[in-house]
Amino acid sequence: MAQAPPQTALADPRFLAIRSLLVELAASLDRTERHAAGGQASLASDPRWKLLVAAVDRLAEGPGRAEALQMLFSDPYEPSWRRDGGPELAGSPGCCSR
């Protein structure tokens, strides 16, 4: 793999960049709660808010955060999608050796 040259575990520029992102995230969540029409109670029942809360919780769990959050925000994939009413394909049977 292409590893970046090692550096101080948490150099100042990286610390400040992450700190900035976290403060921005915190302010965004505070702002959303403050602006919620029905107050916090209405937010608590919003599935998108629940997703955001679950994503924030995941941040503390350790490596693989980015992929885990992407999965959290994804619709599930069903391997049986073709059998279970998914798209029936209308291409030419036998074409191109398939």
Partner 1 sequence: MHYVDPHIHMVSRITDDYETLARMGCVAVSEPAFWAGFDRRSADGFRDYFRQITEVEPKRAANYGIAHYSWLCINAKEAEDVKLAREVIAAIPEFLDATNVLGIGEIGLNKNTRNEATVFMEQVELAIRHDETILIHTPHLADKLRGTRMIIDMLADFPNLDRGRVVIDHVEEHTIRHALDAGYWAGMTLYPVTKCSPERACDMVELYGSERLLVNSAGDWGPSRPVAVPDFIVAMRARGHAEDLIEKVVLDNPLALFSRCRRYVPPPRVAGRA
User: Which residue ranges make up the site for partner 1 (CB under 8 A)?
Assistant: 1-5, 7, 66-67, 70-71, 73-79, 81-82, 86-92, 95-98
Helix H, strand E, coil C: the string for 63-77 is CCHHHHHHHHCCCCC
- Cβ 60 to partner 1, closest distance in Å? 18
Please, which residue, 41 or 90, has the CB nearer to partner 1? Answer: 90
E strand or H helix at 10, and its extent? Answer: none
Please, which residue, 41 or 66, has the CB nearer to partner 1? Answer: 66
**Closest residue by Cα to residue 47 from 20, 10, 84, 73:** 73
How many CB atoms sit inside 10 A of residue 1's CB?
Answer: 2
- Cβ 41 to partner 1, closest distance in Å? 25
- Cβ 45 to partner 1, closest distance in Å? 19
- CA-to-CA distance for 52 and 8, rounded, in angstroms? 31
Please, which residue, 34 or 77, has the CB nearer to partner 1? Answer: 77
